[in-house]
Amino acid sequence: MSVHVTKPASHPYVALLLAGSAAVPASPATWLNTRRAAALERANALSVPTTRDEEWRFTDLTPLTKVQFQPVSAAADVAASDIAAYVVPEAAVRLTFIDGIYVPALSVRGKLPAGITVELLGDALKTQAALIEPHLAKLAVGEHDLFTALNTAYLQQGVFVHAAKNTAFKQPIHLLFVATRKGAAAHPRCLVVAESGSECCVIEDYVALGEETCLTNAVTEVAVAPNASVRHIKLQRENNAAFHISNCAVTLAKDARYLAHAVTFGARLSRNNLTVTQQGEGAHAQMDGIALIGGRQLADTHTLMDHTQPHGTCEQVHKTIVGGGAHAVFNGKVFVREGAQQTDSSQQSHNLLLSDKAHVDTKPQLEIFADDVKCAHGATVGQIDAENLFYLLSRGLPEAQARNLLTYAFGAEIIDRIPVPSLVAQLEKNVMARTEGGV
Amino acid sequence: MINKNAKILLEVRDLTATVAGVAILKGINLTVRAGEVHAIMGPNGSGKSTFAKVLAGHPAYSVSGGEVLYQGKDLFALSSDERARAGMFLGFQYPVEIPGVTNSAFLRLAYNTVQVPRGKDDLDPLEFDDLVREKMKLLEMDPGFLSRSINDGFSGGEKKRNEILQMALLEPVLALLDETDSGLDIDALRVVAGGINKLLNADNACVLVTHYQRLLNYITPDHVHVMSAGRIIKSGDKALALQLEERGYDWLLDDKKAGATA
């Protein structure tokens, strides 16, 4: 997005967003106050991107700017039964936030093994600032991104996940963000730090109760140290009136592994930015994505895999299933910098259109400055395969059922790779329900 | 087995069909009775696979003339899935791969869709598992194929076994097997043919579309038809297939030309 001349609150909508917020109390950590102040200054200087900005060509934020959002100061009354459908029994811990506010009564915080920390960011800043300072608002800077800058400016509620050196913890850590209130703006922040040789799995789960228009502006930073591994499952199942903007920045040290599964079902308008920077040799990233949308939904995913060191590998598969008059956008950048020899990076974008009015824009963007690399990419846009459909019909399945099964299969290929059985079952049910309803 | 009084399952009269406006079938006549095995042979491009696909209702082909009665009723009044539920089965020459749906879930869905209206019990996954494992023994198939996606990464031979497994589960009245022998090595051919033989009885019938005689060494046809350029140009008994094995198709095509000019 373009940077405009710095003036106090240059953009009226940004001014409105900022004016609506209660002042964030100063943190005892001066470095954090400095970063917040800088972010606030950036937010003031930036404007809401328009389709004239290359990065937002296909995603028109005008509907967002027509709604006035404000952060909420107290959590709405939500019962445990309201979120029962989202419980993940495999999870070791669940932190639940309602409209951005942490709610202990809806959270489950059992004893975690030594070396694994899951804390509210505010609490962790008091006791573990030294672990946080090198990363927070350093990985996701928001120099040119209004939403990241806004999130940092508001930085108050959030989660800190830390895996100490050589601590392997496969049990998922469930972070549940529930949107409920009309006009509520939540700016959740997560920081995941996996020290060398460690392993952890984080589920970032965004859901909505009711049909109110809310804004979620999430920022997540993931620092993966040498030989560590992070599995990151991001689910967005908000309602069809919601606006969801998320920015995730990941850094990979030598031989680090990052495995991402992004699932997008909800929101009227969603934008997912995922930036993975390979800072050490031999790091590996896997980026799976699936968006299933219909009606008037728009789901935009922008990814950047930045290979700056040799021997990096990346496997990316992004799929969309688009019904009704919905619009899916995928932009996948792969940068292979000079010196990042022996990089092996692949990107696949597969898109299934279920109606004449469904629309997809997919754009692979490879920029390669090293000469001994393997980079494959492919993009397909199509309808349900006629031969596959005939095969199922010839086995007696009625046409509607056969189409649903093929639609489901298209998405299941991605969903089935999430190694959390209850979540796979939940998501498959979601997909089935949506495909049966014509998405 | 030929029984002149057996019920007629399929009656094809002067059937013509086109693909993208090009005539492929140019007047086919065929009668199939219960208990019979028919082999349709012929050179590549003669229209024999098209014939099987038209009967099953493949959307790429349009019927341009003639009629087909299936168990006495107009076949073309039924959609593909209705034909399947009425007991017609097409064994595909090239079975498709469908990643994302497990073979067992698909097989159970097909079984319940076709067999429940016929009066069988709706089977839950556990009940179905017992049944399908039993049927897999018939084809010497590894149960591991149940948990994989439909035909995904199966070898050519494994796909064909999976086709006949579906035939075993759906118990068709009329099975159209399109080049089931292609892609099978000699041992697999024996197993698959043995499986098909066990499924045939006095109440059903089978039309084998094949290029080669070798399948017919294991499944004895009652009638052999030779197709060329969209028509059946010769019909006979199993001896005809052996003659074709020995002499190829050319003599028949030459005969036909000679006959046409005479």
Q: For residue range A275-295, what is the model confidence (pLDDT) as tens digits?
A: 999 999 999 999 999 999 999
- pLDDT surpasses 80 at B259: no
- A326 and A295 in contact (C-beta within 8 Å)? yes
pLDDT band at A6 (very low <50, low <70, confident <90, very high): very low
Q: Which of residues 23-52 of A touch B (CB under 8 A)?
A: none
- Hey, what domains does chain B have and what are their CATH numbers? 8-261 (3.40.50.300)
Residue A332 CA to residue A348 CA, distance in Å, equals 9
Query: What's the whole-number mean pLDDT along residues A180-193?
Result: 95
Residue B24 CA to residue A410 CA, distance in Å, equals 34
> What is the phi/psi pair of residue A71, to 5°?
-65, 145
Residue contact B99–A409, C-beta within 8 A: yes
- pLDDT surpasses 80 at A17: no
Q: How much is the pLDDT for A20? A: 60
Nearest to residue A256, comparing CAs of A231, A294, A279, A228?
A228
Nearest to residue B28, comparing CAs of B259, B260, B235, B256?
B235
Residue A143 CA to residue A404 CA, distance in Å, equals 44
The helix/strand/coil state of A320 is strand
Mean pLDDT score across all residues of chain B: 94
From the candidates B61, B98, B174, which should be mutated to test the interface with A, based on the most A CB atoms within 10 A? Answer: B98
**pLDDT of B164-201, one tens digit each?**
999 999 999 999 999 999 889 999 999 999 999 999 99
Q: How much is the pLDDT for A26? A: 81
Of B58, B84, B99, the CB nearest to A395: B84
Of B96, B100, B110, the CB nearest to A410: B100
Mean pLDDT score across all residues of chain A: 92
CA distances from A239 to A265, A279, B10 (A): 9, 37, 54
Residue A51 CA to residue A40 CA, distance in Å, equals 24
From the candidates A348, A385, A390, which should be mutated to test the interface with B, based on the most B CB atoms within 10 A? Answer: A390
Residue A111 CA to residue A66 CA, distance in Å, equals 45
pLDDT band at A437 (very low <50, low <70, confident <90, very high): low
**pLDDT of B3-14, one tens digit each?**
888 999 999 999
Nearest to residue B98, comparing CAs of A317, A412, A401, A263?
A412
Nearest to residue A189, comparing CAs of A234, A230, A233, A221?
A221
Q: For chain A, give the percent of residues with pLDDT over 90.
A: 83
Closest chain A C-alpha to B48 CA, distance in angstroms: 18
Residue contact A408–B56, C-beta within 8 A: no
Enumerate the domain spans of chain A.
71-396, 397-439
Of B57, B81, B83, the CB nearest to A398: B81
Of A396, A401, A409, the CB nearest to B100: A409
Query: What's the whole-number mean pLDDT along residues A56-82?
Result: 91
Q: Is A211 on the interface with B (CB under 8 A)?
A: no
Closest chain A C-alpha to B54 CA, distance in angstroms: 12
Closest chain B C-alpha to A286 CA, distance in angstroms: 19
pLDDT band at A433 (very low <50, low <70, confident <90, very high): confident
Nearest to residue B193, comparing CAs of B128, B140, B248, B125?
B140
- Can you spell out the DSSP letters for B166-186? HHHHH--SEEEEESTTTT--H
ipTM associated with this complex: 0.96
From the candidates B55, B80, B177, B178, which should be mutated to test the interface with A, based on the most A CB atoms within 10 A? Answer: B80
CA distances from B254 to B43, B55, B260 (A): 13, 29, 10
Tokens of B197: 């033989």
Residue contact B85–A396, C-beta within 8 A: yes
**pLDDT of B206-231, one tens digit each?**
999 998 889 999 999 999 999 999 99
Q: For chain B, give the percent of residues with pLDDT over 90.
A: 86
Of B95, B110, B166, the CB nearest to A397: B110
Q: What residues of chain B lie within 8 A of the CB of A412, using their CB? A: 100-101
Closest chain A C-alpha to B181 CA, distance in angstroms: 19
Of B96, B109, B149, the CB nearest to A391: B96
Q: What residues of chain B lie within 8 A of the CB of A410, using their CB? A: 100
pLDDT-wise least confident of A85-99, A202-216, A342-356, B243-257: B243-257
